[in-house]
Amino acid sequence: MLTPTRARATLLAAAAAAAGLLLSSLSGGVSHAADNESCRPDGLYATPGVDVPYCSVYDTDGREKMGADHKRRVIGYFTGWRTGKNGEPAYLASDIPWDKITHINYAFGHIGGDNRLSVGTDGPANAATGMTWPGVPGAEMDPAYTYKGHFNLLGKFKKQHPDVKTLISVGGWAETGGYFDDNGGRVDSGGFYAMATNADGSVNQAGIDTFADSAVTFIKKYGFNGVDIDYEYPTTMKDAGNPLDHTVANARRTGLVKGYAALMKTLREKLDRAGAADGKHYLLTVAAPSSGYLLRGMETFQVQKYLDYVNIMSYDLHGAWNEYVGPNASLFDDGKDGELAAAGVYSTSQYGGIGYLNTDWAYHYFRGSMPAGRINIGLPYYTRGFRNVQGGTDGLWGKAPSTSCPAGSGLTKCGDGAVGIDNLWHDKDTAGNESPAGSNPMWHAKNLERGVVGDYVTRYGFPAGTTLTGTYARKYDSTLAAPWLWNAQKKVFLSTEDEQSVNAKADYVVNRGIGGTMIWELAGDYGWNAAKGQYEMGDTLTTAMYEKFKSAAPYGARRATAATPAEAVDLGVEFGQFPLGDSNYPISPKLKITNNTTATLPGGTEFQFDYGTSAPGNAKDQSGFGTTVVRSDHTGTNVGGLKGDHHRVSLKLPSWQTLAPGASVQLDFVYYLPVSTPSNWTVTFGGKTYALAGDLARGTSLVDPGSGTTGGTTTGGTTTGGTDNGGTTTGGTTNGGTTGGGGQCTAPAWNPTTEYVGNTTVSHNSRSWKAKWWTKGEEPGTTGEWGVWQDLGAC
């Protein structure tokens, strides 16, 4: 998760981004008690052999139970460092609007050098477990607990509000690759990067097991309802994440995605087993990036199936890490984003004019693989800002270049971030100086808007008698649904959030069936103190969301928007072997289909699937499978929002090719903007259409069309293919064709003087080969997997 004023070195690239894909299927279904299975959310993985007590958290439609007046989630991040002990205003558990929220994420726990979840050494200085606040109303400790600190107060207030769930959030910007010791010094331990992935890129399963076991112990000890993972970031994009982590992270880039997947699968299974033993379902969630650049290097975010829900960090979309002035967290694109225009996103036809730096785009990225109700959009209760802005409309889409960057930021070219009174919540760089970022709690921004210097400024180091220069005029763009403050005299632009934008986002959540919202962070909300004539910490924005959500219809609990078959078959489908980092454009993974049934799939077998409208409807294959987009829920640009959720794709086994039991076929796939795991698969052969077990859809039964037997409901199971860029091979593959052998080669022998066109089949060295395009004189078996000849196997 975000610390409010961090500088992001690599959030955005100068090219449109892409992501990879990997979809695993199940090998067999697992029967669960009818009551628990009826409560499992659509698409959620269930640990094999475990009767997960979903009904302790979900109703029989798979929707989370949060209280009669909470139809959508309001998740607030509560940070451990606003204790008041440093002289700045405190924000304690007693300040949380408990009746207006549904979940609290405590930020942050970290990964210690022993790979265990920790919040530091117990003692009176430990804010989480030892600190006390004598004389502060509401901060009295509950003697029922053996620990003090924030955890004691969270437990105390949760007794009064039993529908509110609490989660321990682990990591964050500052503690993904290390942690802060008891003296506040940063220890560069490697954090998530080293715990989940070895130096050679392989999965560190021992480290993962240690962490996951400690997480289960931790939430039981302190009474949390689950674990929230804020790993920033398991992507193959070089120099992504905190610059302090680059040394350890960059060395592991090739293995971060598979390490992340192994981590989430292990956590899910250990939490499921603990929950079954305790009679209550434990939540597993993540804070997920919204940046197309980061998602491009995360394949298809295939960990979504292990998550109860995902919280999208749909903010920090523009900031002083570069010169392009724009909103922190706009809801929609307006086709004018200066950064995207400079990168050619609007002018490159393959992108379809789709701008990807907005909340709506990020939501649709995840909607491609998840029900709307398992997604929450993020809202910032803080500002981002620039000074010395040139051009634009009241600063919007202008530029603010800087000649220097904060020490330790890893940047060589930055934007000119706002400072001083326009940067109240600033971090310090590695040299101990103010990091220019224009980061302020919204209560301070509201005072700037009113021309008020709050009495709290002296507690942030400003002298008594501080005055403001210029006027901070509020501006609002209805297409973007984004407000900002513009000081024309100082040329300062502060991107804000207020009632109008929050109400617009709440309406967006309600109208699209989205699960709810996530807030970073609760301490930034505001309320008006009439006696003092100033804004202070409050709950105005959170209350606005609560009022919108309390009478809303139930959220969307199904992933598919069209009817799906009731019977599912066990066919493995995987997108893997992604080019890494900046090489992954256009996005060109390999799609492997593995037949785990006892039936032979004939030539002409049709596969269909959905992918999200975060990418334009121009996906294709380069292997003769006739990939066609047969339905698009959205066409054209995304100015004002994407109109629908999915593109529907059809592809077919070539007429001359069959897929025997245990065999696989592989094809080259291409698309142009990031999408999450393609979903809602069907396969049609023998006059019947089936779902795929790997989609984990509610209510489907696993059948084997070869034997005519039924294998129970498709909930849980083991993966066949794993998460390792291609996974394990069931039946074997050889550069894309079915593996056979033992027969005679029926195709004509390859001739070095003959011209061959695409899809022509030849035999050579006791194997069959298919030309992908025109060729002459190139010997099969010598051109490699990216070359002209596709290996169809032995003959």
Omega before 567 within 30 of 0, i.e. cis: no
d(CA 517, CA 359): 11
Mean pLDDT score of the chain, rounded to an integer?
90
CA proximity to 231, closest of 113, 308, 310: 310
DSSP code of residue 225: S
Omega before 674 within 30 of 0, i.e. cis: no
Q: Give residue-wise pLDDT tens across range 414-463.
A: 999 999 999 999 999 989 999 999 999 999 999 999 999 999 999 999 99
What proportion of the chain, given as a percentage, has pLDDT over 70? 91
In terms of phi and psi (left: phi > 0; alpha: psi -120 to 50; beta: otherwise), the region of 395 is: left
* Structure tokens belonging to residue 489: 């005299």
Helix (H) or strand (E) holding 590: strand 590-595
Options 1.10.10.10, 3.40.30.10, 3.30.420.40, 2.10.10.20; CATH for 740-795 is 2.10.10.20
DSSP code of residue 299: T
* Structure tokens belonging to residue 302: 């295939």
Predicted pLDDT of residue 776: 83
d(CA 109, CA 300): 27
Query: In this structure, are strands 761-764 and 755-756 parallel, antiparallel, or unpaired?
Result: unpaired
CA proximity to 423, closest of 398, 457, 399: 457
Instruction: Tell me the residue type at 213.
Output: D
Predicted pLDDT of residue 744: 66
What proportion of the chain, given as a percentage, has pLDDT over 90? 82
CA proximity to 545, closest of 572, 522, 573, 576: 522
Instruction: Tell me the residue type at 753.
Output: T
CA proximity to 67, closest of 174, 189, 162, 195: 162
Q: Give residue-wise pLDDT tens across range 228-243.
A: 999 999 999 999 999 9
| Residue 349, φ and ψ in degrees, nearest 5 | -60, -30
d(CA 711, CA 229): 34
Cβ-proximal residues to 152 (8 Å cutoff; 6+ apart), any chain: 129, 141, 142, 145
d(CA 726, CA 299): 12
Per-residue confidence at 26, pLDDT binned at 50, 70, 90? very low
Q: Give residue-wise pLDDT tens across range 534-548.
A: 999 999 999 999 999
Q: Give residue-wise pLDDT tens across range 661-693.
A: 999 999 999 999 999 999 999 999 999 999 999
| Residue 16, φ and ψ in degrees, nearest 5 | -65, 150
Q: Give residue-wise pLDDT tens across range 182-219.
A: 999 999 999 999 999 999 999 999 999 999 999 999 99
Where in 38-175 does DSSP place strands (E)?
A: 73-79, 103-111, 117-118, 165-171
Predicted pLDDT of residue 409: 86
Q: Give residue-wise pLDDT tens across range 378-422.
A: 999 999 999 999 999 999 999 999 988 998 888 888 999 999 999
CA atoms within 13 A on the CB side of 15: 15
SS3 state at 487 = strand
Predicted pLDDT of residue 515: 98
Contact assessment for residue 24 and residue 726, using Cβ atoms and an 8 Å cutoff: no
Omega before 233 within 30 of 0, i.e. cis: yes
Q: Radius of gyration (Cα) for the chain, nearest Å?
A: 27
CA proximity to 285, closest of 375, 223, 368, 207: 375
Predicted pLDDT of residue 368: 98
Q: What share of the chain is helix, strand, coil (3-state, %, to 5)?
A: 20, 25, 55
Q: Give residue-wise pLDDT tens across range 588-614.
A: 999 999 999 999 999 999 999 999 999
Contact assessment for residue 289 and residue 232, using Cβ atoms and an 8 Å cutoff: yes
Q: At what angle do helices 359-367 and 499-511 cross, to 10 degrees?
A: 20
Helix (H) or strand (E) holding 266: helix 256-278
Q: Give residue-wise pLDDT tens across range 703-713.
A: 999 876 555 55
Where in 341-499 does DSSP place strands (E)?
A: 375-380, 384-386, 473-477, 482-487, 492-495
Interval 471-490 mean pLDDT = 98
d(CA 7, CA 433): 13
> Quick one: three-class SS letters along 196-222?
HECCCCCECHHHHHHHHHHHHHHHHHH
Measured CA distances, 345 to 15, 231, 339, 354 (Å): 7, 28, 9, 7
Interval 339-358 mean pLDDT = 95
Helix (H) or strand (E) holding 685: strand 679-685
The greatest distance separating any two alpha carbons of the chain, rounded to the nearest whole angstrom, comes to 93
Predicted pLDDT of residue 500: 98
Q: Which residue's structure tokens are 């794709």?
A: 649
Range with top average pLDDT, 181-195, 725-739, 752-766: 181-195
Q: Is the pLDDT of residue 17 over 60?
A: no
Cβ-proximal residues to 326 (8 Å cutoff; 6+ apart), any chain: 317, 318, 337, 338, 339, 357, 396, 397, 495
Predicted pLDDT of residue 786: 64
Predicted pLDDT of residue 441: 98
Predicted pLDDT of residue 8: 31
Q: Give residue-wise pLDDT tens across range 145-188.
A: 999 999 999 999 999 999 999 999 999 999 999 999 999 999 99
d(CA 59, CA 571): 30
Cβ-proximal residues to 143 (8 Å cutoff; 6+ apart), any chain: none
Contact assessment for residue 374 and residue 41, using Cβ atoms and an 8 Å cutoff: yes
Predicted pLDDT of residue 9: 30
Specify the domain boundaries for CATH 2.10.10.20 within the chain: 740-795
Q: Which residue's structure tokens are 């939430």?
A: 219
Measured CA distances, 428 to 204, 320, 424, 543 (Å): 33, 14, 12, 32
CA dihedral 477, 478, 481, 482 (to 10 degrees): 10
CA proximity to 444, closest of 520, 385, 383, 489: 383
* Structure tokens belonging to residue 414: 């930055």
Per-residue confidence at 11, pLDDT binned at 50, 70, 90? very low
* Structure tokens belonging to residue 430: 């590695």
d(CA 759, CA 625): 10
SS3 state at 53 = coil
Instruction: Tell me the residue type at 301.
Output: F
Per-residue confidence at 773, pLDDT binned at 50, 70, 90? confident
How many other CB atoms are found less than 10 A from the CB of residue 706? 14
Contact assessment for residue 714 and residue 697, using Cβ atoms and an 8 Å cutoff: yes
